[in-house]
Structure 1
């Protein structure tokens, strides 16, 4: 959903959220799918995406509230505790990898 008052929204028309990073994968990139509990809407997806996107090495994040899955692409494997802290900062709970 696009809110004309919030042109900086990360959410696309299909309800998925993306970081501001390029969507293409790079050589050597690592993609990890995490399970996050508590996400119910586009706002939730955006909050989780923003916090995880701020982690060093993260190049793309896609959060889907309907499944609770957050797909993270990074230059190298991420420390799960750092991801857990970012998800916690957003107000949600990391259940682990999907």
Structure 2
């Protein structure tokens, strides 16, 4: 089965707890297999989501918002 890699940029994350909160919300989305976060404390962090199906920008944004952060940019 092939996987899809989606990158989003998230603002407001500052620590490991932030990473855990965002990862937990994104892992709850259907098809998500792995989350990799390059934390840029106080700046814009890069979140790479590996999934078995295409995720819509709105569902990613809602999951990140549920964790208390904001998606500032999406990359295909």
Normalised by the shorter chain, which TM-score bucket? 0.7 to 0.9
Match of 2:25 among 45, 51, 59: 51
Higher strand share: 2
TM-superposed deviation, 1:65? 1.8
What residue is the counterpart of 1:28 in the other structure? 2
Higher helix share: 2
Q: Which runs of 5+ in 1 are unaligned?
A: 1-26
Question: Any idea what SS the aligned residue of 1:78 has?
Answer: coil
TM-superposed deviation, 1:77? 1.1
What residue is the counterpart of 1:85 in the other structure? 62
Q: How many residues align?
A: 72
- Say whether 1:38 aligns with 2:12: yes
What residue is the counterpart of 2:49 in the other structure? 72
Question: Any idea what SS the aligned residue of 1:28 has?
Answer: coil
Larger RCO, structure (CA 8 Å, separation 6 or more): 2
What residue is the counterpart of 1:19 in the other structure? none
Detail structure 1 runs of 4+ shifted over 6 Å in the superposition: none
